[in-house]
A and B are shown apart, each in its own frame.
Chain A
Amino acid sequence: MKWLNRQEYPLMTETSLNTPKRLTRKQKRLLVIAGLAVVVGLAAALILTALRDQIVFFYSPTELMARPELAGEAVRIGGLVEQGTFERNGETNQFSITDGNSTIAVTFIGLLPDLFREGQGVIAEGSLTDAGDFSASNVLAKHDETYIPREVEAALREQGVWQGGE
């Protein structure tokens, strides 16, 4: 390549190439490898710490109701939107998510996905309030009417509500 031309790079003259080496080839390589190992180690530590702190657990309504100590923690819940519970008041939406056994009242401020309906499988992100209902920061429904989230399917299956095939 032209831009590697030596005339353009006064640093890369013959003299600078011929300066005596202080380290042997092996030492140099060890030094480089040690440096790389340190960076990789730091990165691994970073990933593992972040993984411990930043993951969000998924619960079915039954599981979450059994653990009130989780109030205030960011979690995901999933199930079906219970029939007859959906109410909209301006930008505030209220509905209940059920797994057939337990039901949690959910409040969500914002725009619901287009495919949000009663009876539809949804996932809500947010946290349990001290009052025992759920304040959602995000509600996910799917692009496709035949699609049901894997977690929701598992939650429903556990309660014996799931009718579909494997």
Chain B
Amino acid sequence: MSIELGHFALILCFAVASIAAGAGFLFWKREGHLTDYARQASMLQFILVLVSFAALTQAFVTSDFSVALVYEHSHQLQPLIYKYTSVWGNHEGSMLLWVLILVTFGAAVALFGARLPRDLLALVLTVQSGLTAAFTGFTIFTSNPFERLSPAPFEGKDLNPILQDIGLAIHPPLLYIGYVGLSICFSFAVAALISGRIDAAWARWVRPWTLASWVFLTLGIAMGSYWAYYELGWGGWWFWDPVENASFMPWLAATALLHSALVMEKRNALKVWTVFLAILAFSLSILGTFMVRSGILTSVHSFASDPTRGLTILGLLAFIIGAAFALFAWRSKDLRTGGLFAPISREGALILNNLFLATAVAAVFVGTLYPLFLDAATGQLISVGPPFFNLTFSILMAPLLVIIPFGPYLPWKRADLLAVTSRMGFAVLATLILWLVVAVFTGAITSLAGVGLLLGFWVAIGAIAELADRARFGKASIGTSFRRLFGLPRNAWSTALAHFGLGVTVIGIVCTSAWETERIVAIQPGESVTIEGYRVELVDVVHTEGPNFISDDVNFDVTAPGGGVREATSEKRIYAVSGMPTTEAAILTYGFSQLYVSLGEQADDGAWVVRVWYKPFITLIWLGCIIMSGAGALSLTDRRLRIGVPQRVAKAEPEPAQ
């Protein structure tokens, strides 16, 4: 019964969203009650999808196998948390989650946007309703999660064992919030193009939404990377796989958008470009959904997929993106460029940032989609692997990393590079000293790793030095400096922290890539393998039973170089229902480095093939991402950016701070 209710709610939402979108586009020019209707329609869509999602969740939690989707992807013996996560551990359910987040954002704008100009609010909600209509329609007509089975089977087919992990509870929702949050920026951009009114205030309204999406996208990608790292058992944290690139491109675009919206907000410049980026970021999100869902590109993260759906998404994609860019081409020439600035200025630095991020998006885009084009054009099958991405991406990122620390030092409009550089003396000195010590110690001084480390230190130290410079450390008394430091606005802190986090991630990537070591051996219980001074001894193998799997637990004793023994367990599981084997790697963290122990098969003579990696400073990669997200969240709490407080932004020029 509740399943039918959920199905009905979703259909009703489709109807409401279609009507709201149609009416909105037809009548947006007429003042009156349209805005109120649009807001009510957005709230209604949210409630309907919530009901729908709750109905599906209930079916999964109670293991109602009369629902085809529950039968396909769940099992009574699954632990309760995986019954919940099974809801989106499949195509249909994940589309419903996608739509739920879409309408949640729409409702949030409706709720908190009371102070936006009424016609802009109406238009934003109209575009958002249009997106909701498109994606609920897609869900209902091609991926209906509410289909029934008759007669109902007694038992389900179980969720794919690889997905039976806490990662599924965290990664897709985070990533989807990030992806779909960009829809608000898209809606704002389209609304601005339709109404033809776009100014600094617009940028100020868009920025919190971009920032929020960016925070979630950053966390989602980092979480996905860590999940793949520990679950796939290959010890890799990033494969440049199409599915990964699909989430990385919107992130790059959103990062560019964050920075260009800053220029627009402060200086009323880069309008056309910012609007373009807002459309691009969400377009890349839908493209990502399309690539993941259609299975059109071979990916290590692919699950069963259906090409017919892919075609429908492609059509949807072509329509949404095509319409938006057509509108952009038609209307953007009416947007007047604003503030004038010299090439060497904060605007100039931010433009360089956008330039490199945009070319990086282009590089990833070309590398990801080129196999498709070539296949379609010549039938030749190729793959573009990590060498292409590592080469192009690192060359494009290196200059960006060099200029990042300069950015926050540069004043708007025009800057004196010499004076700025002289203020950065401490940062340069500190970076060089630290780098020399590390590079001589590791012997990396002339290698590529040395260059990478130098860039990482430069970005991280430059960010902190900028805060110190602003607090006038060394120029004022220590007490005054600390008072100044903590009195700095949150935006200054969040900029510095975000850049610092990036530096930390870069250092982690360089260290892991350059100094990772691995060994593969076949060992019997009682034997051991030594890597980088760590002695890994295979103690014994214990047969255990989990709720829905049986497992060989292989126990290791790991002796660190400085002494001290820790126990670790790798598991070789076989899931009862699917008969599918999985490997759970044992991961031990020493400081920022990790020891990763993965298992192969047991040979006939009883020996186990064991693959051991030592991954120096690998946790810095994710730690840096967490710092970046934290910085974004901090910036969101800045009073000036708070979503409900745009009352002062009606002025064209932002007023100087008090």
Contacts and interface: CB of A to CB of B under 8 A. Distances in A.
B27 interface: no
Given A55-B383, A58-B382, A115-B581, A90 B370 contact: no
Interface stretch (B35-43, B359-367, B498-506): B359-367
B607 A90 contact: yes
Q: Which of B300, B359, B381, B492: most chain A Cβ within 10 A?
A: B381
Interface stretch (B191-199, B281-289, B406-414, B531-539): B406-414
Interface string A29-43: 001100110011001
Interface in B568-598: 578, 580-583, 598
B140 interface: no
Contacts of B297: 150
B516 to A, nearest CB: 15
Contacts of A25: 340
B416 interface: yes
Given A2-B489, A2-B657, A50-B391, A143 B381 contact: no
A91 B160 CA distance: 27
Contacts of B599: 111
Interface string B158-193: 001010000000000000000000000000000000
Contact of A90 (B383, B420, B603): B603
Contacts of A11: 411, 415-416, 419-420
Interface stretch (B4-12, B253-261, B301-309, B314-322): B301-309
A114 B581 contact: yes
A54 to B, nearest CB: 4
A51 interface: yes
A150 B656 contact: no
Contacts of B658: 2
Contacts of A9: 411
A43 B363 contact: yes
Given A54-B385, A55-B382, A91-B609, A12 B413 contact: yes
A5 B387 contact: no
A6 interface: yes
Interface string A8-40: 110110001100000001001001100110011
Contact of B414 (A17, A31, A35, A114): A17
B302 A3 contact: no
A1 interface: yes
Given A58-B382, A111-B600, A39 B388 contact: no
Contacts of A31: 343
A145 interface: yes
B383 A3 contact: no
Contact of B296 (A17, A57, A109, A150): A150
A151 interface: yes
B interface, size bucket: 35 or more
Contacts of A88: 601, 603, 609
B111 interface: no
A110 interface: yes
A147 B302 contact: yes
A144 B384 contact: no
A106 interface: no
A161 interface: no
Interface string A138-166: 00101111110111001000000000001
Nearest to B420: A11
Given A1-B489, A47-B362, A54 B391 contact: yes
Interface residues of A, number: 56
Nearest to A58: B381
B611 interface: yes
A110 B520 contact: yes
B381 A57 contact: yes
B162 A143 contact: yes
A91 to B, nearest CB: 4
Contacts of B300: 140, 143
Interface in A104-126: 109-112, 114-115, 123, 125
B640 interface: yes
A4 B657 contact: yes
B304 A146 contact: yes
Given A11-B415, A39-B359, A91-B521, A47 B298 contact: no
Contacts of B420: 11
B383 A144 contact: no
A26 to B, nearest CB: 11
Contacts of A143: 160, 162, 300-303
Nearest to B467: A3
A3 B491 contact: yes
A11 B301 CA distance: 52
Nearest to B472: A8
A79 to B, nearest CB: 13
B134 interface: no
B362 to A, nearest CB: 7
Contacts of B366: 47, 51
Given A12-B411, A43-B396, A142 B388 contact: no
B416 A47 contact: no
B359 A115 contact: no
A46 B415 CA distance: 31
A146 B302 CA distance: 11
A35 B362 CA distance: 18
A163 B349 CA distance: 57
Nearest to A146: B304
Interface in A50-83: 50-51, 54-59, 76
B287 to A, nearest CB: 18
B477 interface: no
B555 interface: no
8 contacts: A2-B657, A28-B342, A54-B391, A55-B384, A90-B603, A91-B611, A114-B583, A151-B298
Given A3-B488, A91-B600, 8 more contacts: A2-B658, A39-B359, A47-B363, A55-B382, A55-B383, A59-B381, A91-B520, A150-B298
5 residue pairs, one from A and one from B, having the closest CB atoms: A2-B657, A58-B381, A54-B388, A90-B522, A43-B359
